Amino acid sequence: MSEDLQFIYKQEFWFASAFINTALVSGDQKSKEIEDLIFEKLGSLKEEDIFRRELASDILDMVKNLYINCSWIPYIENFPYKDENSEKEYDVLGYFQFEVEHYKGNPEKKEKLSPLLIQQIPFIILDTLKGFTKKNENRGLNIDTESPIFVFVTSNGTKPKEIDWTNDNIEKFKKILGYWNEIYSGAWPDYNENLYDKRIQNNLSNRLSELHFIERNSGFIYMAKQNYEDFFDSYMRKFVLDPTPKMRAVLFALRSINELLDTLFLKTQSESFIDVETIENKIKNLRLLRGLLQTKLSIFYNELNYNRRQHYTSVLKHLLAEFEIGDLVSRINDKFNIIYDAMEHLYQKKNEELQKRTEKGLNLLNLLFGAGILADLGSVIIIALSLPAG
């Protein structure tokens, strides 16, 4: 039965995508401020601040025994993104990385941690980041607080014993696995079998001693203790952890471009907005951003083409599919085409208006000539110019 198996918590890695304006803020400085803010927030946490009151006692104990280190990781520099709604400008796309560990050096306490407890603190931190981003001194910072903080949880042991992760055992323990590899799960006891079946799909590990799951907003890595010591830092960080926030940062940027294209399209349909040149310049900049993102994606696609590492390519394929990168790129390309059509319509409209104004001007001149007004006016000017001075 799945209740007979217990995963032993090891540590966590959190990721939050962001744009920054390096003329206004330092990513490294902001990472230190965020780290201090988290400790301040959690240090003052009270029972009434916790949504799940039945978990309050455990959570208050967890935050007293929390190790966390925040760092800023730039991913695409010289990325000139401008938010049309706030008029704020940024020049770097990257992400904040948090190395997190509860009860460091206390294995007995770690054994008592469950996914339901682990998920509570990232929820609290996300609300804190929302307020932090809105401060005036952080106008050069735009953290993706619309998405949950991505949480990678790792485990290096199971109780009562280690087992081989055959397909039969994955099926046998799918309920407990489902809670760990979907960390933001509500953990209700009456989920149906189909949900658990979906959650155990796409185990990316090729080894019976490991499990690698990456979902939309969380991931779970289990490695037998010796594997963890030997290969986590040397392999898993580089080929499983690192690609995930990079792909998620691309997703954040693509979503942002997608929203800007919607805004620009609506402006092309507004009677009060007829500045074609302004729209043209914005479209050129968005094309540049799309090109920068596609260049980064090409690195992943090149890895897939060369197929250098079977496991790594499986991770990349899964990330591209899980984050629906191809679909979003396709929708963005379609929107560019729609806006090009709208721009063509605007050009035609402007030309027609110019032509109408020209025709009105010519008609007016013909009218004035026909009435002799311009001829009489010309004679008066000639006479005036021929009069002697003084």
Distance of CA 77 to the CA centre of its chain: 16
* pTM strictly above 0.85: yes
Is residue 19 included in any domain, yes or no?
Answer: yes
Confidence (pLDDT) at 348 = 72
| Choice among 56-65, 93-102, 334-343 with the minimum mean pLDDT | 334-343
Q: What token pair was written down for 389?
A: 């001075």
Considering the domain boundaries, does residue 136 fall inside one?
Answer: yes
Residue 162 has pLDDT above 70, yes or no: yes
Distance CA 187, CA 174 (A): 13
What is the DSSP secondary-structure string of 71-134?
A: EEEEEEEEEEEE-TTT--EEEEEEEEEEEEEESTT-HHHHTT--HHHHHHHHHHHHHHHHHHHH
**Within a domain: 256:** no
Pair 144, 17: CB distance under 8 Å: yes
Please tell me the distance from the alpha carbon of residue 169 to that of residue 163, in angstroms, as a whole number.
8
Is residue 330 domain-resident? no
pLDDT for 2 equals 45
Position 250 scores a pLDDT of 98
Segment among 12-26, 84-98, 209-223, 375-389 with least mean pLDDT: 375-389
Has residue 259 been placed in a domain? no
Q: Does 119 reside within a domain?
A: yes
* Average pLDDT, rounded, for the chain: 89
Whether residue 10 is contained in a domain is answered as: yes
Q: Which residue has the tokens 């620009």?
A: 264
Report which of residues 351 and 254 the model is more confident about: 254
pLDDT of residue 322: 97
| Owning domain of residue 191 | 2-245
Q: What is the mean pLDDT of residues 274-298?
A: 89
Is 380's pLDDT higher than 80? no
Q: How many domains does the chain divide into?
A: 1
Whether residue 377 has pLDDT greater than 60:
no
DSSP3 helix / strand / coil % (the chain, rounded to 5): 60, 20, 25
Structure token pair of residue 227 = 């594997």
Split at pLDDT 50, 70, 90, the class of 280 is: confident
User: Is 97 a member of any domain?
Assistant: yes
pLDDT score at 390: 47
> What pairs with residue 93 in β-bridges?
19, 76
Give the CA-trace dihedral at 123, 125, 131, 135, to 10 degrees: -150
Q: What pLDDT is attached to residue 1?
A: 42
Strands 150-159 and 218-223: parallel
- Contact predicate 330/255, CB 8 Å: no
